[in-house]
Amino acid sequence: MILAVILYYAVLFMVFIIIRKDSIFPYPDFITGFTSWLKNMLPTLVMAVCDFLVIFVILDRFRFTKSLIVKIAADFAVTSAVMYALILIFVAVHKKTQPELVVDQAGIFMYNVLIVLSLEILYYIKRSKESLRREEAAKRAALQYRYEALKAQVNPHFLFNSLNILLTIIPEDRQKAMDFTVNLSKIYRYILTLQNRRTVALEEELDFLKSYIDILKIRYENAFFVDIQGTEHTSGKTIIPFTMQLLIENITKHNIVSEKDPMLVEICIGKNEITVTNSIKKKSAAGISTGIGLKYISAQYETAGKDFRVIDTGDKFSVRVPYI
């Protein structure tokens, strides 16, 4: 970076001299010209380092906007303030020994503008590359999860459990057995039809979720309950596929669900987001978690520029799902 600033400054210095002095080398000898160039080089280097820290470190760490124009305007405002502070410090230090010192503030401001513009271009290139890497990582995570989800639903363990439940309820309640079979087929159909879709209508996801919940209710013998509110807000809303099912699966995987400790999940569908809340009843010996579920959801929403939030208060677990 330092070498780039030196070369960049050398070009700017030549252009500045031509504009102000109407000559490419208005000095009596090389030593005088080089000394003048060197005296101005150090403040410019300090200014460039400060600009770099402001743009790439300080303001980047506290990103408050997604607008490129607002970001550039904020960078110019902060770097200009820093530049002016440096000028005041420079003048205060040298005024005692050089009372006749005159600071070309207009020239310094021009240098700063050009340096900031160059750094903004580098920043934009850096952010674009990072965004592409995140998108590629999210795509790989999505493909991995969809493969795992499909594999989990068609593996023998899942089939045996489902068939055992079905065999149990057929003699007792034929209608319930038929409903169970229909719900199971809906789950398979939904997973197979969403392999290449990045978003899904909220109505579709909720239909799939209801089938999944009905199977869970039979599996847990009515110890599992889901209260869905705000369905009037579903029209026109889209989310990441499998979001709701993954959240419900995460609840049953990590919490006790039994007749003694029934589980109630509250799903509140709002105008701007969905909130899923459950009480925490951790299993004493939970199975090893791969973390694919929540990591997959979080990565997908981050790629879409949305804030997927998880809130754990100790007795309540809440997730806020934004719309895409």
pLDDT the model gives residue 144: 67
CA atoms within 13 A on the CB side of 168: 10
Q: What is the rounded distance in angstroms from the CA atom of residue 314 to the CA atom of residue 324?
A: 29
CA atoms within 13 A on the CB side of 306: 19
The residues that bridge with 275 in the sheet, in sequence order, are: 268, 320
- 209 CB-contact burial (10 Å; exposed 0-12 / middle 13-18 / buried 19+): buried
Structure tokens at 284: 């004493």
pLDDT the model gives residue 126: 82
Q: What is the rounded distance in angstroms from the CA atom of residue 209 to the CA atom of residue 292?
A: 19
pLDDT the model gives residue 10: 64
- 11 CB-contact burial (10 Å; exposed 0-12 / middle 13-18 / buried 19+): exposed
Residue pair 320/273 in contact by the 8 Å Cβ criterion: yes
Q: Which residues touch 55 (CB under 8 Å, ≥6 apart)? A: 75, 79, 116, 119, 120, 123
Tell the residue number behind the tokens 């489902």, with chain if given.
Answer: 162
CA atoms within 13 A on the CB side of 129: 5
pLDDT the model gives residue 275: 97
Q: Where are the domains of the chain?
A: 2-132, 155-322
pLDDT the model gives residue 320: 96
Q: What is the rounded distance in angstroms from the CA atom of residue 240 to the CA atom of residue 244?
A: 9
The answer to pTM > 0.75 is no
pLDDT the model gives residue 21: 63
Element (H or E) spanning 199, and its range?
Answer: none
10-residue averages of pLDDT along the chain (324 residues):
59 64 69 70 73 75 65 79 77 66 64 75 81 78 63 58 82 87 87 80 94 88 92 93 88 90 96 95 64 74 86 93 94
Residue pair 41/34 in contact by the 8 Å Cβ criterion: no
Structure tokens at 241: 């596929």
Q: Which residues touch 150 (CB under 8 Å, ≥6 apart)? A: 191, 192, 195
Q: At the top level of CATH, which class does the domain 155-322 belong to?
A: alpha beta
Q: What is the rounded distance in angstroms from the CA atom of residue 61 to the CA atom of residue 189?
A: 44
Structure tokens at 222: 């009515």
Q: What is the rounded distance in angstroms from the CA atom of residue 81 to the CA atom of residue 251?
A: 51
Q: What is the rounded distance in angstroms from the CA atom of residue 29 to the CA atom of residue 38?
A: 14
pLDDT the model gives residue 205: 94
DSSP-assigned letter for residue 57: I
